[in-house]
Chains A and B, each alone.
Chain A
């Protein structure tokens, strides 16, 4: 299968889509992890010059975007009632 080297704007579009998807997670840890992982991954691969490795990194990113989108939906179905422990009302006051 011949791999297509993505253009600069396609790469930026993938980057932006991943960041937008990361914002949809309801859990703070997952939201922040997805964002951090996206930024780190793109930083790490920014010096790639070999067309083959660029294309494979890009297709890996696209696959990750699909996963992130799917998981955002799945997690939203099973979201806990309390988003954060800070929302809990104090039980019987001491």
Chain B
């Protein structure tokens, strides 16, 4: 009887040893994973914007009247690239085709530089 009790206690001690869960090791809110997740989402957002910038620049470079060497992310269509209002309309239409959505006339009239185009397209939920 005593023997059996001792065996049972020894067994339960053994089980408890394995079942014990460490508390307070990884409970810090600023652990590595949380920080990495935040950086990751930040990275995705900025990389989408830089992808939009690249695609906008390549569309503008392909436009036949534009000198490709003059195209920079800050270029203004009329002052830097020497385009007129008809050309700006054509570029906005080409951007619509590239990103697969329709830009309303009101917004399209405002887009007169590569920066504005990138900002508008990157903030638009339908842009692909």
- Tell me the A residues contacting B by CB distance below 8 Å: 8-9, 12-13, 15-16, 19-20, 23, 39, 42-43, 46
Contact = CB atoms under 8 A, between A and B. Distances in A.
A46 B90 contact: no
A45 to B, nearest CB: 10
Interface of B: 84-86, 89-90, 93, 97, 105, 108-109
Given A15-B89, A16-B93, A46-B86, 5 more contacts: A16-B89, A16-B105, A19-B89, A19-B93, A39-B86
B83 to A, nearest CB: 12
B85 A19 contact: no
A16 B89 CA distance: 7
A15 B105 contact: no
Nearest to A46: B86
Contacts of A23: 97
Contacts of B85: 8, 12
A43 B83 CA distance: 12
A10 to B, nearest CB: 11
A39 B109 contact: no
A12 B90 CA distance: 10
Scoring A9, A16, A19, A46 by chain B CB atoms within 10 A of each residue's CB, the highest score goes to A16
A15 B93 CA distance: 11
A19 B97 CA distance: 12
Contact of B86 (A13, A20, A43): A43
A15 to B, nearest CB: 6
Nearest to B85: A12
